[in-house]
């Protein structure tokens, strides 16, 4: 079941190489750890995408290692906000066009500022959601940063 998602089409247009990897979704466990196990990557290479709202900038997007937590104060500082809060689950789909467990940093309904934890620079390959539950995109960090025009910073904390 290889679907061309918006994210995949955008990568195609940008001539960026990637691999789509599908996996069986367990609705009761949408965690990045579960995804990492299913796609056969160490958890530090599976990045989750979180949607937040800053008091000055409005909606922003953060990508952090799957087993890390978002450091809201550092994200606020990096994004030019005083305060940042993760948006409620019911807002995720209207804002991004994606459902929880399938939010890709690539190809959202609108172009939001994207911030990626700088630990990504140490990796040669990462996975992010392709925009559907059960489908991951494997690509090089440098390509993800380029296609999303992301800013890097220390925004993830190990749990």
Q: What pLDDT does 1 receive?
A: 46
| Cα 91 to Cα 45: distance, rounded to the nearest angstrom | 27
Beta-strand relationship, 114-117 and 151-153: parallel
Quote the mean pLDDT of the chain. 95
Q: CA nearest 42: which of 63, 15, 66?
A: 66
* Of residues 158 and 140, more confidently modeled: 140
Burial string for 50-82 (b: 16+ CB within 10 Å, else e) reads bbbbbeeeebbbbbbbbbbebbbebbbebbebe
Query: Which domains are present in the chain?
Result: 6-158 (3.90.960.10)
Q: What is the mean pLDDT of residues 73-84?
A: 98
Give CA 137 to chain center in angstroms: 10
Q: What is the mean pLDDT of residues 3-30?
A: 93
Q: Is the pLDDT at 115 greater than 70, yes or no?
A: yes
pLDDT digits (tens, 9 = 90+) for 122-135: 999 999 999 999 99
In sequence order, which residues have a C-beta less than 8 Å from that of residue 56 and are 6 or more positions away? 80, 81, 82
């Amino acid at each position: 079941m290889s679907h061309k998602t918006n994210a995949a089409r955008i990568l195609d247009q940008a001539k960026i190489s990637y691999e789509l990897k599908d996996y069986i979704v367990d609705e009761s466990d949408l965690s990045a750890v579960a995804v990492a196990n299913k796609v056969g990557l160490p958890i530090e290479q599976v990045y989750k995408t979180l949607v937040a709202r800053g008091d000055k900038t409005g909606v922003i997007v953060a990508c952090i290692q799957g087993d890390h937590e978002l450091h809201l104060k550092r994200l606020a500082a990096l994004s030019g906000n005083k305060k940042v809060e993760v948006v409620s689950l019911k807002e995720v789909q209207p804002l991004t066009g994606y459902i929880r467990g399938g939010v890709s940093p690539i190809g959202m309904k609108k172009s939001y500022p994207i911030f990626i934890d700088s630990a990504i620079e140490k990796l040669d390959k990462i996975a992010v959601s392709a925009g559907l539950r059960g489908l991951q995109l494997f690509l090089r960090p440098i390509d993800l940063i380029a296609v999303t025009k992301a800013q890097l910073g220390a925004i993830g904390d190990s749990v």
